Chain A
Amino acid sequence: GQQLNQSPQSMFIQEGEDVSMNCTSSSIFNTWLWYKQDPGEGPVLLIALYKAGELTSNGRLTAQFGITRKDSFLNISASIPSDVGIYFCAGQVRGAQKLVFGQGTRLTINP
Chain B
Amino acid sequence: DGGITQSPKYLFRKEGQNVTLSCEQNLNHDAMYWYRQDPGQGLRLIYYSQIVNDFQKGDIAEGYSVSREKKESFPLTVTSAQKNPTAFYLCASGHIRDRINTEAFFGQGTRLTVV
Contact = CB atoms under 8 A, between A and B. Distances in A.
B35 A30 contact: no
A1 B47 CA distance: 12
B1 interface: no
Interface residues of B, number: 29
Contacts of B104: 33, 45, 90, 99
B46 to A, nearest CB: 11
B102 A31 contact: yes
Contacts of A40: 88, 109, 111
What class of interface size applies to chain A in its complex with B?
20 to 34
A69 B109 CA distance: 31
Given A98-B56, A102-B42, A43 B101 contact: no
Nearest to A95: B99
6 contacts: A1-B45, A41-B109, A42-B90, A97-B56, A99-B92, A103-B42
Interface of A: 1, 6, 30-31, 33, 35, 40-45, 48, 50, 88, 90, 92, 97-104
